[in-house]
Chain A
Amino acid sequence: MKNKEPIILLVVIFFTLVTYYLVEPFAHSQMHKHVESEGFEYADLPAMTKTGDAAKGQELVMNAGCAGCHSIEVAGMPAPMDAVMAAGAYGVNPPDLSNAGAVFDPKFLADLIKNPAHALKVEHKYDPAAGKMHPMVAFYGMGGDIDQEVADMVAYLQSIAVKKEELTPKVAFETACGRCHAVGYEEWTQIGEKPKFKHEKDSLAFDIKVIDYQDSLMKYMGKLPPDLSMYIRSRGEHYISTFVENPQNQLHGTAMPRVGVTPHSMEKVIEYLEDAGDTKRHEREAIGKNVMIYIIIFAIFALLWKKQVWRDLH
């Protein structure tokens, strides 16, 4: 009798694949809007026309009053208030600027200095005409060419920041996301990494500070920004990076600002989230390969055994 098994196998595979295609790729394409990355080019922001001078930039940063709100730890400038007080005053703790030059796009930084709500894409929340001002005061110039001055400040921030190759996932995440988002699985809170305390009292005191900070943040953002521990599994790399690139594209009207990271720092942020939510991915790949080799050898032996046993049956 003709062997029908190949055709039966094809029928089984065909119906399995059709079902898989319909419930996975097709259904998800219908359920979720697909947003393409724009390559982190921030095409809506004006290009920088001036070449900055870091030394002049340093002077400008000192004189423009940046340090009234921001710390620049690498330049020996501490924060004027602690994180909890700062959040009470501004809604969120103003970032330390030590590595801003490495994490954020220069074009974005320049626009941010001149017009924060525009660069951050939160103009739907802050309308000066209606008396709703963004907590960061815009820089109106020190009397010279404002574009030159801004370019100088950006050059200064770049000069003090960590080198691109030395930017760690942790620093990228903390600078870009860490003042609003906790990552419980990495012990990260909005006011910094939770230290190991010897006494429970100290641990509870720290937790209370976090809660105070979160209360201010909740008022500022409308709701508490989510803990990102498992976001790499619940949202996936593509969603996260297109969301960060322009939150309004994925979720129109969201209070989350555009963060303005460079593509390189985005990769680092993703790596941080993978370390938190997909910790064992390297082990999975290594073991996966070995298991596949083992199981293929098993299948070959099983096939040979069957051939041997069935030789007498025909």
Chain B
Amino acid sequence: MAHFTKATSVKDWLNQRLAVEKLEKVMASEYWIPKNINFLWAMGMVLVITFVLLLVSGIFLLMYYVPTTAEAFNSVNYTIMREVDFGWLWRHVHGVAASVVFLIIYIHMFTGIYYGSYKKGREMIWISGMLLFVAFSAEAFSGYMLPWGQMSYWAGMVITNLFSGGSLHADGLVEWIRGDYVPAQAFLGRFFMLHVLLIPVAILGLIGLHFGALRIPHVNNQDGEEIDFDAEAKKYLDGDKAGSKVMRFANDFMSKDMMVVGVYLVFFFYLVFYNYGFAMDPVNFDPADGLKTPTHIYPEWYFLWSYEILRPFNIDLGLILFAFAQVIFVLLPFLDRSPNAIPANRRGKAFAIWFWLMLANMIVLTAMGKLPPAGIFSQIGLVSAILFVVQWIALPFITAREKKV
């Protein structure tokens, strides 16, 4: 057992038991961040803030939500929207944050790809981040079931149907997932559990892993420069704050984080109060009706690109490519064979084109995923989906030929 002495102050008492001073250094004041980074590096903090908004608003909604097929729709649209004080506010915050969180995740992801932040010891940061993406996707989908509107019901029907595996006709698996032949009480009950317990717990664990994965390789910087963190930290602590290439996480970088968060929250609350329609689909304000299929069934915008990879092909090929699209991003650190860990635009033409084409093509896929699959739109969708797959297959070959810069 450790030796304890009579404490001289509350801080000392805590220090002996919890090492709070050391903890503060490790987590904040001597957590070293490179200086040559831009506001895109604040997206992590923006995501934390958005996650907290989702958690807090979700807790309030959970107090009044009723997870039964008979009452779910009314508990959301009547009880929460009309009866409960500020229930409408929590719902709009929750709905908008659930959509905006994916915008920030995509910005965060493409920042990582652009600056090569998944290379040279940072592979686990990327992999844990992609696991978080999967967990957030599951969280978003399960949450979308809960208002039990037309889109909840029919999106639930379509997405769970994917598990039949096309020609495999694994209908037993689909029934097992639904707990019934069609989405009904068993289905709603288990998605409710997933949304409010199992997936949030997984997300919290993965956030811990994601932060932990960052500790040893340190944060990347916008020039891909290799920094001797120990030497630069010493320079900083010796008083040469301006000359050092690093800064403290708190308050140095955190003050910039908060500046970006401030601007972001102006944008976020503008959406919550004045432009929330994009995050709350009108069709979902019709109660679920298993006898009435909506004219257009589409997922929320952040799933559209992968939906469009499924849609243009026959069911078997579509499912294979859909599965390909779901896992391929995780493998990025191993598919990129280049020795360079610097911004995409400085890695030579081939990868620069690959990056911007991937970004543009995913936006095209997103748009085509929502549009009715007819005429020119389905042709564009087909070409884009093929291009997406070809780009990933070509990645190892393109990057292997890249010269060391």
**Interface positions of A (Cβ within 8 A of B):** 1, 4-5, 8-9, 12, 15-16, 18-20, 22-24, 26-27, 30-31, 185, 229-231, 233-236, 277, 279-280, 283-285, 287-288, 291-292, 295-296, 298-303, 305-306, 308-310, 312-314
Contacts and interface: CB of A to CB of B under 8 A. Distances in A.
Contacts of B261: 302
Contact of A295 (B266, B278, B284): B266
A282 B82 CA distance: 13
Contact of B88 (A20, A22, A284, A312): A284
Task: Determine the main DSSP class of A at the interface with B.
Answer: helix
13 contacts: A23-B367, A24-B277, A30-B372, A30-B377, A234-B285, A234-B286, A277-B77, A284-B273, A299-B259, A302-B261, A306-B259, A310-B252, A310-B255
B36 interface: yes
A22 B273 CA distance: 22
B16 to A, nearest CB: 32
Nearest to B274: A288
A4 B38 contact: yes
Contacts of B242: 312-314
Interface residues of B, number: 54
Given A31-B296, A295-B269, A313 B282 contact: no
A303 B259 CA distance: 5
B35 interface: yes
Task: Determine the main DSSP class of B at the interface with A.
Answer: helix
B21 to A, nearest CB: 21
A301 B370 CA distance: 40
Contacts of B258: 302, 305-306
A299 B241 contact: no
Interface in B50-109: 77-78, 81-82, 88-89, 92, 103, 107
Given A229-B77, A303-B259, A313 B35 contact: yes
B266 to A, nearest CB: 5
Contacts of A309: 251-252, 255
Interface string B258-275: 110111011001101110
Contact of A302 (B35, B252, B259): B259
A19 B39 contact: no
A32 B227 CA distance: 55
B366 A292 contact: no
A146 to B, nearest CB: 44
B294 to A, nearest CB: 11
